[in-house]
Amino acid sequence: MTTPTNPEHYALAMRDVTKTYGSGNAQVMALRHATLNIPHGHLVLILGPSGSGKSTFLTIAGGLQTPTSGKITIDGQDISTLSKHELDQLRLAHIGFVLQAHDLVPYLTVEEQFKLVDSVKPKGNLSKTQLNALLQELGVDQLKHTLPSNMSGGQQQRVALARALYTKPSLILADEPTSALDSSAVHTVGTLLQNIAHTQHTTIVVVTHDTRLASLADDVYHMQDGVLSYSLGQYHQ
Ligand SMILES: Nc1ncnc2c1ncn2[C@@H]1O[C@H](COP(=O)(O)OP(=O)(O)OP(=O)(O)O)[C@@H](O)[C@H]1O
Ligand SMILES: [Mg+2]
């Protein structure tokens, strides 16, 4: 079997993507010639230490930042050819983000966080029953009337993950979604993500320094000083 090299075959593909912040002496090359293919339905982990370029990679992959050079395709579509409106629509309909600061709205309860999503995207989301089952699986179903400030960091992370899954995206981009979780919660979250990827054909990309998810991932990459390298073998023996 030959491996396809055409970006059109992949949920997410990058070709020689570079991101430079600042200029002159203050210049930082946060992403260096990143090239990768992420197949549909894979759970992909990108592991790297603090400052290695993980958030830069993820925000560029989802079109929240533009690269300095290189090409990004989502489902075969070169995102640089999209207008701002088209990119917004693509994100709304197809991408679920879990950002590093998990960005729950501070003055809304858990239940209201989901109502807010409904007000922006009213159709195609999980049903009430499915949402309840998801919150239960993540162990946060008792928190429906709770504000983020009254939750632990790990609880906030799980609610943020549920919010990303709520819209049934075809691509999930998650930044450190497990950093505040204990090992048992990491296992629950990891198994849930693996299950969603494999049964619903959702593509899930997690950037993290947390190696505890590595054995569940289909592909593992390492990020070091902005350089991405494939390293699955290390974790699947
Ligand atoms: N907006 C910015 N302006 C200037 N430099 C930046 C900016 N964002 C990130 N950087 C720099 O780019 C490099 C990569 O940062 P990035 O946030 O992508 O790393 P990270 O792997 O996500 O780190 P962490 O694990 O701490 O979240 C770092 O050297 C960082 O200081
Ligand atoms: Mg980061």
Q: What is the pLDDT of residues 112-133, one digit of tens each?
A: 999 999 999 999 999 999 999 9
Nearest alpha carbon, ligand 1 atom 16:
53
Q: What are the tens digits of pLDDT across the range 67-100?
A: 999 999 999 999 999 999 999 999 999 999 999 8
Ion ligand 2 contact residues with beta carbon within 5 A: 54-55, 100
Give the binding-site residues of ligand 1, using a 6 Å CB cut-off.
21-22, 28, 30, 48, 50-56, 100, 209
Question: Residues 6 or more apart from 33 whose CB is under 8 A from it?
Answer: 16, 17, 18, 70, 227
Q: What are the tens digits of pLDDT across the range 208-236?
A: 999 999 999 999 999 999 999 998 766 66
Examine residue 22 and state whether it is found in any structural domain, yes or no. Answer: no
- Structural domain boundaries, residue 192: 39-63+83-234
What CATH number corresponds to the domain at position 211?
3.40.50.300
Examine residue 7 and state whether it is found in any structural domain, yes or no. Answer: no
Nearest alpha carbon, ligand 1 atom 5:
21
Examine residue 155 and state whether it is found in any structural domain, yes or no. Answer: yes
- C-alpha 43 – ligand 1 centre gap (Å): 24
Q: What are the tens digits of pLDDT across the range 171-212?
A: 999 999 999 999 999 999 999 999 999 999 999 999 999 999
State the number of CA atoms in the 13 A half-sphere of 1 facing the CB. 2
Nearest alpha carbon, ligand 1 atom 3:
21
Task: With a cut of 90, say whether residue 7 has pLDDT above it.
Answer: no
E strand or H helix at 163, and its extent? helix 153-166
Examine residue 29 and state whether it is found in any structural domain, yes or no. Answer: no
The pLDDT of residue 79 is 96
Question: Residues 6 or more apart from 105 whose CB is under 8 A from it?
Answer: 112, 113, 116, 148
Examine residue 224 and state whether it is found in any structural domain, yes or no. Answer: yes
Q: Which atom of ligand 1 is nearest to the CA of 19?
A: 12
Examine residue 57 and state whether it is found in any structural domain, yes or no. Answer: yes
Ligand having the closest approach to the CA of 209: 1
The pLDDT of residue 1 is 45
Task: With a cut of 90, say whether residue 8 has pLDDT above it.
Answer: no
Q: What are the tens digits of pLDDT across the range 15-71?
A: 999 999 999 999 999 999 999 999 999 999 999 999 999 999 999 999 999 999 999
Nearest alpha carbon, ligand 1 atom 28:
51
